[in-house]
């Protein structure tokens, strides 16, 4: 087995806290991107950036780089996203006395996905400073992942040269490997009624909010079956309590691991929207967008076997998971690049209760090092480890 460098808990702490202090909501990732670029350049790695920021109205493009080791062709691509959901308060992360990273303010911590950024950066620092051999590999960092995997969709088809990939973007203790994730349809509807004074002449009005309410009430929402769900997440309209609302906009989604079920649920939601409009005499414009496709990786596929072997080498039990959400892995798998989504140790993400333990951050960095060291084609000495890893 290759001698691997040992992650520094002090360095991981300093690096995570520095990244977590930098706000990086979708389309405003510049500060974090610059921090990533600076640290990779300090490790002697040249970083490329595309024009996705200009295309989507953001301030940052996707980043990618090749970390040169043994061999000219990269063996593995590892990725994370630069953005977070929008914080509602200041970012003041700390490592508490129990070894847990938390934000002292009532908003997100940002471990989604800065835990992954930290682990990838520190692992690269360690390998570049080490005298032990390691294979050439790629890193990629996407923007606006939280708003529909936008950055990954704009990443050039031929940017990544590796035969296998992993993103570090799933919530849960290190050791989980998401091998199956659903498709998603995004839905937007704009109800257009007629404004009128609500007290003086309500008969003249046509309420867009009433139409939207009827439509939503008629929908089957929440958990539909074990592989299908639907949700209306945003509704807004109206200007004053004494004016019958002329406009109401609704945003929602449905997800499924089965494309036929997804099409059926999406059609039912559209039917409900149109019926709600018809019953109240208003117009409705509906937009349905297929955001990303489902993927399902065989347990014996190379990237799954590699991931399991790396988890075993770390001393943990691999857990093959079926995810309920999308990630950049959906986009890459749809392009033909087999990609798993690894649990990154972050917990209760997208909430003020989000946290990450230093132990899991250390394990995540150790997992990255083992994923690289065990990459197929680099280390025939450990090929048997991959084949034995919980086939």
Annotated catalytic residue, options 29, 112, 138, 145 = 145
Kind of pairing between the strands at 176-181 and 339-343: antiparallel
Phi, psi of 173 (to 5 degrees): -60, 145
What sign results for the dihedral spanned by CA atoms 316, 321, 326, 331?
positive
Which contacts qualify for 149-153: CB closer than 8 Å, 24 or more apart?
149/291, 149/292, 149/326, 149/327, 149/328, 149/330, 149/331, 150/26, 150/52, 150/56, 151/52, 151/56, 151/62, 151/81, 151/82, 151/83, 151/328, 152/62, 152/328, 152/331, 152/332, 153/331
Going through the chain in order, the beta strands assigned E by DSSP cover 48-49, 63-67, 77-81, 93-95, 100-103, 137-142, 165-170, 176-181, 183-192, 222-225, 228-237, 247-256, 283-292, 295-296, 319-322, 339-343, 356-357
Annotated catalytic, 83?
A: yes
Q: Which residue in 50, 83, 253, 362 is the catalytic one? A: 83
**Catalytic residue ranges:** 83, 145
């Amino acid at each position: 087995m290759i001698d691997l460098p040992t992650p520094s808990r002090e360095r991981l702490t300093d690096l995570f806290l520095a990244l977590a202090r930098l706000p990086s909501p979708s389309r405003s990732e510049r500060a974090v991107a610059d921090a990533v670029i600076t640290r990779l350049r300090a490790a002697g790695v040249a970083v490329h950036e595309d024009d996705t920021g200009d295309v989507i109205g953001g301030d940052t493009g996707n980043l990618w780089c090749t970390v040169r080791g043994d061999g000219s062709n990269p063996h593995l691509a590892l990725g994370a996203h630069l953005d977070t959901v929008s914080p509602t308060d200041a970012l003041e992360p700390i490592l508490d006395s129990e070894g847990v990273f938390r934000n002292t303010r009532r908003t997100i911590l940002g471990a989604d996905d800065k835990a992954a950024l930290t682990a990838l950066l520190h692992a690269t620092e360690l390998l570049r400073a080490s005298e032990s051999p390691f294979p050439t590999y790629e890193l990629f960092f996407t923007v606006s992942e939280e708003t529909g995997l936008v950055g990954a969709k704009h990443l050039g088809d031929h940017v990544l040269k590796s035969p296998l990939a992993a993103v570090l973007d799933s919530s849960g203790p290190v050791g989980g490997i998401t091998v199956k994730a659903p498709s998603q349809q995004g839905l937007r509807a704009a109800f257009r009624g007629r404004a009128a004074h609500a007290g003086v002449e309500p008969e003249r009005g046509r309420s867009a909010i009433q139409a939207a309410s009827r439509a939503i009430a008629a929908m089957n929402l929440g958990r539909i079956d074990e592989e299908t769900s639907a949700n209306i997440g945003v509704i807004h309209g109206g200007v004053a309590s004494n004016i019958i609302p002329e406009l109401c906009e609704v945003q929602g989604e449905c997800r499924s691991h089965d494309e036929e079920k997804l099409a059926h649920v999406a059609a039912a939601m559209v039917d409900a929207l149109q019926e709600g409009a018809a019953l109240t005499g208003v117009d409705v414009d509906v937009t349905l967008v297929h955001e990303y496709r489902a993927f399902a990786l065989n347990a014996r596929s190379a990237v799954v076997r590699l991931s399991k072997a790396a988890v075993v080498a770390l001393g943990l039990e691999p857990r093959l998971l079926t995810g309920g959400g999308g990630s950049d892995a959906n986009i890459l798998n749809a392009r033909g690049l087999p990609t798993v989504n690894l649990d990154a140790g972050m917990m209760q993400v997208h909430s003020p209760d989000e946290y990450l333990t230093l132990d899991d951050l250390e394990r995540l960095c150790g997992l990255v090092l083992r994923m690289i060291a065990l990459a197929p084609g680099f280390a025939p000495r450990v090929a048997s480890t991959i084949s034995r890893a919980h086939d």
